[in-house]
Amino acid sequence: MGFTIGDVLLVAMPVVILVAVIWALTAAFKPRNSGLSDAERYQRELAARSAAHQAAQVQAATAARARIDASTRPSQNAQQQSQQDSQSRAALRAQAGLARESARPATTVPSSPTGS
């Protein structure tokens, strides 16, 4: 009763197939790495840097435009301030003029000697 190659293959082949099926099932149902690949990570980093650069460019352009606008035309606040200053000066002059008039001694009109 010796074992022949056919007997070994008859036992070994189903065992090998069973091990292969078990390995395939564990590999198929093993949780995958949900992390990003290097290429995806690079793409996201590149997009973030591009967005930051674009935002910086927009901010620089806005600041430059504001500087140009401020140098070429007075701001609304400056105009309002100059109007308020001129109005307050005019009001002070008017008050000073009224104060001078009230400080003058009242001139009395002499009554006529006839008593009329």
- Give 28-69 pLDDT, tens digit per residue: 888 777 677 888 889 999 999 999 999 999 999 999 998 888
- Give 2-27 pLDDT, tens digit per residue: 778 888 888 899 999 999 999 999 98
Q: Is the CB of residue 36 less than 8 Å from the CB of residue 44?
A: yes
Asked whether residue 58 is assigned to any structural domain, the reply reads: yes
Asked whether residue 49 is assigned to any structural domain, the reply reads: yes
Instruction: Please say if the pLDDT value at position 109 is more than 60.
Output: no
Asked whether residue 99 is assigned to any structural domain, the reply reads: no
Question: How many residues are listed for the chain in this entry?
Answer: 116
Instruction: Please say if the pLDDT value at position 83 is more than 70.
Output: yes
Quickly count helices (H) and strands (E) in the chain: 3, 0
SS3 of the chain: helix, strand, coil, percent, to 5: 75, 0, 25
For residue 65, give both structure tokens. Answer: 């435009």
Asked whether residue 29 is assigned to any structural domain, the reply reads: no
Higher per-residue pLDDT: 43 or 109: 43
- Report which secondary-structure segment, H or E, holds 14: helix 5-29
Give the count of domains, the chain.
1
For residue 13, give both structure tokens. Answer: 């082949």
* Band (96; pLDDT cuts 50, 70, 90): confident
Domain with 45 in it: 38-72
For residue 79, give both structure tokens. Answer: 């105009």
